[in-house]
Amino acid sequence: MTSELGPTKRTKISRGKSHAQSDRAILAQVLGEGLIAHVGYQAGSHPVVLPMAYAFDLNGPDIDGTLYLHGSVAAMMLRHPQERQLCATITLLDGLVAARSGFEHSMNYRTAVIIGSARLVTSESERLLALDLIVDQMIPGRATTLRPATRKELSATAVIALPLHEASVKISADGPEEDEPSDIAAGTWGGHIPLRFRADAVVTDTANDAEVPSHIVERVTHLS
């Protein structure tokens, strides 16, 4: 894996270059914190963008590592993936920037954009690993506490892989930076509202009387 994000023409950031990041560690950080990817593909004459769970493996078999997506074998996006170009975008919304003019309003965010041709994962060991990684992306440490997937479950599930090679990361942070001196002098308030995902109290399903396991407690604590 290269340590720098070497953008191809397709992932070169043309707007807001000052926010572009070139460190692969930043990509791993954004992917590590995210929970859903918005995945786009062309469906005939129009694009479709759908939210999907994902996982990633920096040591995966694709160039610069692997992003994994999964779904029903019947899902259109996952059929014949090698014939499709996909774009998977993971956005962490970090805040609202209330500048002193409408024009300067913006948001704070960290966004990773990954473009590539998807590979249908066929090796059983890689499929099992990817499915465990997807569970652990949601709740670290949970996959190992669950029974293995059954044949029936595996045959109903498609797993696809996207190389992390063609990736870009853009970050915007802090408060308003380019307010006009006249807007500042006019006394308009400016600032920003930090935002983050937080967990509310866990809801235990009552079908049995199992106790809340430690990996769930840790997940909630991490998100509190």
Which 99-158 residues touch a second copy, going by CB under 8 A? 100-103, 105-107, 109, 111, 113, 115, 131-132, 134-135, 138-139, 142-143, 145-147, 149-150, 153, 156-157
Residues 33-72 that bind a second copy (CB under 8 A): 35-36, 38-43, 45-51, 53, 71-72
- Name which position in 1, 25, 63, 202 contacts a second copy (CB under 8 A): 202
Tell me how far apart the alpha carbons of residues 215 and 159 are, in angstroms, rounded to a whole number. Answer: 25
Report the residue number, 2 or 146, with the smaller CB distance to a second copy: 146
State which H helix or E strand residue 96 sits in: strand 85-98
Tell me how far apart the alpha carbons of residues 66 and 161 are, in angstroms, rounded to a whole number. Answer: 6
Q: From the CB of 68, what's the least distance to a second copy, in Å?
A: 13
Look at residue 62 and give its three-state secondary structure: coil
The number of residues that bind a second copy (CB under 8 A) is 96
Report the residue number, 3 or 213, with the smaller CB distance to a second copy: 213
Q: Are 4 and 24 spatial neighbours (Cβ–Cβ below 8 Å)?
A: yes
Q: Are 128 and 148 spatial neighbours (Cβ–Cβ below 8 Å)?
A: yes
Q: Which amino acid is residue 11, in one-letter code?
A: T
Is residue 167 a contact residue for a second copy (CB under 8 A)? no
